[in-house]
Every structure is written in C-alpha cells, then in structure tokens.
Amino acid sequence: MKKQLRTILLAGVFALLAGQAFAQAYPNRPIRWLVPYSAGGPADLLARAVAPTLGDQLGVPVVVENRVGAGGGIAMDAIAKAAPDGYMIGLGLTGTQMINPYLYSKLPYDPLKDFSPVTPLVSYTNVLLVAQNSPVKSVAELVAYAKANPDKVTFASGGKGASNHLQGELLKALTGAPMLHVPYKGNAQGIVDLISGNVTCMFDILATGLAQVRAGKVRALAVTGAKRSPYAPEIPTLAEAGVEGYEQAGSDLWIGVLAPPGTPKVIVDRLHAEFDKTMKSPAVTERVRSLHYDTWTLPPEEFAAYLRTDYLKWGNVTRLAGLKPE
C-alpha cells in the first residue's frame, strides 16, 4: 500500500515537473495570431497594438495575420483545427463566437467546444446615432416617431447579422417601434448615408461614432452598455433612456483571445498571464483608449463561464430579431 502511494506521489511530481519544463520552454518560435477581419479595422488595430509588447514579453515575435471571410468564420475554423501547441492563437469577438452560430447552419466550428479560452482583452459598447438635422432628440422621440410613421423609419447596419443589426432589432422588439433594417457592406457606408439623411438611425462603435458626433454631423441618443461609457459620460444608456431590459440582452461587446481546443493548461495560463500584463502596460493602455475600448481581462476559467452565459443571451436576441440560420 505504501509502495503504491509512493508511486502515485512520484508520478504526480514528475507530471508537475514536466508541465513546468514545458511551460518554461514555450515559446521558442514565432506565434501566429489570426484576426478574422481585414487590416485597418477596429479588431485588427487592437491586435496590432498588443502584439509588439506581447512579443517582447514572450521573447518571440507575435505575428498578426488577417484571414477574412464568412463573417470571421474562416479564421476561427483555422484556430479550431490548429495544433494545440500555443503557436497559433486567434482573436475572437462577439460576432464570431456569439452571433455567427445562430446565423450559419453549417458553421464549421462549435463556439464553446472547439476553443480554449485564454482571456478577453477589451469590452466595448455601441452608440445609437441620428443625423444632426433629424427632428429626433431622444430615444423616446425616436420610438414615438417610428410608431407615428411606420413606413419611414430605417436603421443602418454593417450587414445582416452584424452586432449593430441585432442591436437595432432588439430595440424594435423591446419598444414595438417599427423600423426597417438597411444592411450595408460595413459601417462606413452606413454612416455616410446616415449623415446625408438616407437612413434614420444607426448603432456604431464609439471610436467612429463619437468622432462624427464631435464633428457636428450626427447626434448621439444612447449607448448600448449596462453603464455609461467613460469616453462619453454625458450620453445615457438605453436603460436610462427608457428601454428597460436592453442591458440584460447581450448589449456589451467583447474582443478576446482563443487557443485551439486541447491546448495544455500550462500554455493557456502562460498566455493569459502575458496578455494580462500586456494590457496593463502604458503603451497598450493608451492605444486601447484611443480606440474607445475598455480593458478587460479574466482568468481562462472565468472567461469560459462568461462565454457560456453570453452565448445564451445572444441566442435570445437572434430569436427576438426573427433571424434563422441559413
């Protein structure tokens, strides 16, 4: 009995030492960081702001690689099928992990089972905008105007299934305001038509939306988050503007890091620790602020639990919007 116990204890010690040696040896070559959207977009800018400092801390280059297509699905599928050795990681977003599974019937990856969550990096909210010359001055006025003019009110988005599309559908569902969705190939085209008055309203990210507000081209009515944004504390939340329940339905958005399934815990923990340190560095903090994001990190286990809850929330939003997988 004592011999068996000693054997078990020795096996545990050897496993621990092997794990520590594995973690110390990692990494010893460049790490590829797949971004599911094109260069120059908000997600890409975040990754490129983080990668140099992260690489310095890890002692190897962290190479950002844009792999676009299928609403981010091509990059995430590559991550889901990559070797679980920590040398290929991915930038996951609310859209790729929480929304796409409800829009694509043949999505090649499972958003919860096919990844090893590392950490979120940032959270952010969108802002509801109308043109500067619009008679609408508040969310209540927008809802009243839509109900009084059921064939006239439209809302733009960056495309069917985009987060700002679902946020518009959620606003419709919670208020009963009839509004027609007008999808564009990206938010930039939608903003142009909003400014010119071709659409009534639009949800947009803070970085670009607030720039147009401060240029006097559009008016902000509310932010989508559960609390006011530190970048525009004068703008109320939708809940404060009278839309009860909005903040409970997946209104906060996130960008985070995911590794392939089966990545050893020692590697995931090492990546988490280095990302956490990177996000708190002065250079990265300043860049994150310029993008109007809020730094947000979690241990891998807590991130995994958050993803499970957030997935259910966005499922409710897609059902409210009447969207079905295609």
pLDDT tens digits, one per residue of 165-186: 999 999 999 999 999 999 998 8
**Confidence at residue 160, expressed as pLDDT on a 0 to 100 scale:** 82
Q: Residues spanned by CATH 3.40.190.10 within the chain?
A: 126-248
pLDDT value at position 182? Answer: 96
Q: Where in the chain is the domain with CATH 3.40.190.150?
A: 2-123+254-320
Q: What is the pLDDT of residues 200-249, one digit of tens each?
A: 999 999 999 999 999 999 999 999 988 999 999 999 999 999 998 887 76
pLDDT along the chain (326 residues), means of 10: 47 42 79 94 95 97 94 94 98 94 90 97 96 95 96 92 90 94 91 96 95 96 93 96 81 93 98 98 95 96 97 88 80
Domain 2-123+254-320 = CATH 3.40.190.150: yes
d(CA 117, CA 319): 26
> What pLDDT, on the 0 to 100 scale, is given for residue 18?
42
Domain 126-248: CATH class, spelled out: alpha beta
- According to DSSP, the residues that pair with 120 across neighbouring strands are 256
Residue 4 is predicted with a pLDDT of 55
pLDDT of residue 302: 98
- With helix as H, strand as E and coil as C, how does the chain read? CHHHHHHHHHHHHHHHHHHHHHHHHCCCCCEEEEECCCCCCHHHHHHHHHHHHHHHHHCCCEEEEECCCHHHHHHHHHHHCCCCCCCEEEEEEHHHHHHHHHHCCCCCCCCCCCCEEEEEEEEECEEEEEECCCCCCCHHHHHHHHHHCCCCCEEEECCCCCHHHHHHHHHHHHHCCCCEEEECCCHHHHHHHHHHCCCCEEEEEHHHHHHHHHCCCEEEEEECCCCCCCCCCCCCECCCCCCCCHHHCCCCEEEEEEECCCCCHHHHHHHHHHHHHHHCCHHHHHHHHHCCCEECCCCHHHHHHHHHHHHHHHHHHHHHCCCCCC
